[in-house]
Amino acid sequence: MVAALLADLFETHRPHLLSVAYRLTGSVSDAEDAVQESWLRLAVARQSEIEDLRAWLTTVVGRICLDRLRSAAVRREKYVGQWLPEPVVSAVTPSSTPDPLAAVVRKQEFRFAALVVLDTLTPPQRVAFVLHDGFSVPFSEIADILGISVDSARQLATRARKAVAAAPAPVTDDEHNAAVQRLLAALGSGDVDAIVAALHPDVRTVGDGGGAVSTAINVVAGVDKNVRLWLGLWRRFGLFDTEHIGPARQLEPVLVNGQWGILAHAIPAENGSAGNPQRVYAFTVREGRVWGVYDVVNPAKLTGIRLPQ
């Protein structure tokens, strides 16, 4: 097959492969690397032995991502604090030339909360569930990728489904946006009663700084603790136009994995202030109120910001 034609064919499958790789790994960098590696493998493969290019590439990406998941599992054993997926951040107003990955994550199964749940699975469970339930890969092929029997592959997917079923049910974008904006407005006003009303009784804040940047090491659970946490942060960093201590921080509404979130721009160090790094806030809404707040601040996990310069 002519190289140029093969490259063109591969590009038609790139969005699909990115969706497979990102949902498998929860990592923007790993997903992009896996897709690129699949191209390198395709370029040296015997084309006559490939009957279905899309299926072949999906299987190759699955193998590559399994290796990356296993490496990530080893890193997590020594990771400082909580581990969150890498968010894909895009502008609220769609670009005329959207990034392929930013377009992919607008689907419900790529919501940030869904990826948080996938991160609780073992690498084999995640591969079995995502490839079969998400992309209709036969269990026979999944078993071959994992080096196990077909029955074992089915069992892995079944266990994964049970874990995923325990996650909060996705809400509409309108409900999500309204709940998040209600919380932010309450925080901006400093009205404690309004903040409490905007939070789900089981609210939890999860921070991911990877030991490189300061954030909550443990999950902050419960309304009282979250009210104290966020009122303190809002005042300290001037996240709204309220009286605050130190330089003001600019907040930019963005889409985080297709749903309304916040990009908090960095505060530069000046006049004796240490400053504060860029961070992304994602949210999960349950029963009309904010149930989950995710503070992603580890610089290594912010490569998925797709905003116009």
Q: Which residues contact 226 (CB under 8 A, 6 or more apart)?
A: 199, 203, 204, 205, 220, 293
SS3 (DSSP) at 12: helix
- Residue 128's alpha-carbon distances to 20, 31, 61, 136, 306, in angstroms, are 12, 17, 13, 10, 30
Query: Is residue 23 within a helix (H) or strand (E), and if so which, with residue range?
Result: helix 3-25
Helical residues (DSSP H) of 199-294, grouped into ranges: 223-237
| Sheet with 305-306, edge to edge strand ranges | 220-221, 199-208, 289-296, 279-286, 259-264, 251-256, 89-91, 305-306
123 CB neighbour count, 10 Å cutoff: 20
Provide, for the chain, the percentages of residues in helix, strand and coil under a 3-state DSSP scheme, each rounded to the nearest 5: 50, 15, 35
8 A C-beta contact, residue 244 and residue 237: yes
Strand partners, 89: 256, 305
Q: pLDDT 10s digit of each residue in the chain, 309 long?
A: 577 888 889 999 999 999 999 999 999 999 999 999 999 999 888 887 888 999 999 999 999 999 999 999 999 999 999 999 999 999 988 777 778 888 888 888 899 999 999 999 999 999 999 999 999 999 999 999 999 999 999 999 999 999 999 888 889 999 999 999 999 999 888 899 999 999 999 999 999 999 888 888 999 999 999 999 988 877 766 554 444 444 455 889 999 999 999 998 887 766 666 667 899 999 999 999 999 999 999 999 999 998 876
Q: Which two tokens stand for residue 67?
A: 């290796």
Q: What is the model's pLDDT at position 248?
A: 52
Query: Using CA atoms, how far apart are residues 109 and 299, in angstroms rounded to an integer?
Result: 25
Q: What pLDDT, on the 0 to 100 scale, is given for residue 243? A: 45
